[in-house]
Amino acid sequence: MCPSISQWPTILYLGGVSFLRLCSNSLDVVVCEASDGLEAIQKAKEFKPDLILLDIGFPKLNGIEATRQIRKLVPNSKILLLSAVGSPDVAREVLNTGASGYVVKLDVGSELVSAVEAIFRGKRFLSRRLRDSLSAAEDTETTDNPSRNEALASPSVMPRKPEATCCHEVQFYSDEAAFLERATHFIAGALRGDNPAIVIATESHRASLLQRLKGQGVDVDAAVQQGIYVSLDAAYTLSTFLIDDWPDSVRFLKGFRGLIEAVSKEAKVEHPRVAVFGEGVALLWAKGKRHAANRVEQLCNDLGETHDVDILCAYPVSGFHSERDKQAFKAICADHSAVYSP
């Protein structure tokens, strides 16, 4: 029989402060904030809890990679991951680590207690919005099932769930034509629906996008005049929130929230969705600032929790060639609701 929540002595929350209060109010937990994935591993090793609530959006080492290491160091601890991303493929990756469950942060208030109860009954738990996509149910067994893991193999494109507040996609491109085609389609779709669009790109890419948008009949000049099309230089934009080559969360969120709210006020539609295209992360990646790029992606997810935005990031595939890069590629994919690759 499953014990009552008050009888669970060691439930450890490892994450930032944003969901700490909500988790604490829902459960009697041992609260422990961790600033990054490496610290989370150390805390898990120190406390050896019965259950770990682990935030997937960590800098340095994301929650998926941290889970793999915690499973080796503390094999008796069950792990429930929390994520802002409602992506079936991220859930597949999580379950394939041997984690006991995956809860989308939008559903924490209604599902967290049920998730913990299911896990202590020896079952796996998956947020309701993802179950149909994965053909999974709340009572899925927690025991390892190789055939099931094979069935959950990730495809190249991760579809966005319609319930998601933020659609955060990433494109890995091998040539400029493919890059410009998807970016143009993304921005044109927003402007044609009278929604605002923000472009953060290199000078050459901004010029090419402008030319292609006009070539497709999009009245960019009118959008600029109205204030719903903003084009910014990627390197300059990075400089506004980087401190010693690391993204400052306060500067990032304050700057982008202000920009999103400003363009939203100029939109004619009642509830505008702001399209944000950016390749600042690619500039960081090219400079070898991989952890900083991952952190920016996580901050974009934080932005999506409070604002109606659709975000598209882009990386050239030429920047991913080593074994280390392959692991980083998985980390980037985990931060997105959809992944497009050649």
| 159: in domain | no
Tokens coding 232: 């910014």
Q: Same domain for 177 and 325?
A: yes
244 in the same domain as 279: yes
What CATH number should be reported for the domain holding residue 69? 3.40.50.2300
Token representation of residue 42? 């150390």
Domain check: are 64 and 128 in the same one?
yes
Expressed as residue numbers, the domain containing 238 is: 167-340
Q: Would you state the pLDDT for residue 21?
A: 54
What CATH number does the domain containing 232 carry?
3.40.50.300
Q: Which two tokens stand for residue 226?
A: 């109205």
Backbone angles phi, psi at 75, to 5 degrees: -65, -20
Do both 90 and 131 map to the same domain?
Answer: yes
Predicted confidence at residue 27, as pLDDT, reads 64
The pLDDT value recorded for residue 61 is 79
pLDDT digits (tens, 9 = 90+) for 178-223: 999 999 999 999 999 999 999 999 999 999 999 999 999 999 999 9
Residue 158 falls inside a structural domain: no
Per-residue model confidence (pLDDT) at position 277:
97
Strand order in the sheet with 309-316: 229-233, 197-201, 274-278, 309-316, 167-173, 338-340
334 and 202 together in one domain:
yes
pLDDT at 114: 87
Q: Is 193 in the same domain as 333?
A: yes
Residues 62, 197, single domain; the answer is no
- Positions in the chain whose pLDDT score sits under 70: 1-9, 16-31, 59, 133-166
- Verify that 256 and 310 share a domain, yes or no: yes
**pLDDT for the residue numbered 63:** 84
> Is residue 219 one of the residues assigned to a domain?
yes
Instruction: Say how many Å lie between the first and final Cα of the chain, rounded.
Output: 50
User: Among the three residues 151, 179, 199, which one is the final residue of a domain in this structure?
Assistant: 151
CB of 188 closer than 8 Å to CB of 220: no
Q: What is the rounded CA–CA span in Å between residue 187 and residue 39? A: 39
Under 8 Å between Cβ of 311 and 278 = yes
- Same structural domain for residues 55 and 198? no
Judge contact between 255 and 240, C-beta under 8 A: yes
Question: Does residue 156 fall inside a structural domain?
Answer: no
Residues 71 and 129 in one domain: yes
Do β-strands 30-33 and 11-15 pair in parallel, antiparallel, or remain unpaired?
Answer: parallel
**Where among 126, 151, 176 does a domain terminate?**
151
Which one-letter amino acid corresponds to residue 201?
Answer: A
Q: How far apart, in Å, are the Cα atoms of 52 and each of 75, 105, 113, 181, 298?
A: 12, 16, 13, 43, 21
Q: What is the pLDDT of residues 140-156, one digit of tens each?
A: 433 333 333 322 223 33
Provide the number of structural domains found in the chain: 2
Taking Cα atoms as reference points, which of 27, 49, 54, 50 lies closest to residue 38? Answer: 54
Say yes or no: 234 and 129 in one domain. no
Dihedral over alpha carbons 95, 101, 105, 111 (to 10 degrees): 150
Strand pairing partners for 51?
Answer: 11, 78
Q: What pTM does this model have? A: 0.55
Establish if 281 belongs to a structural domain: yes
Same domain flag for 184 and 291: yes
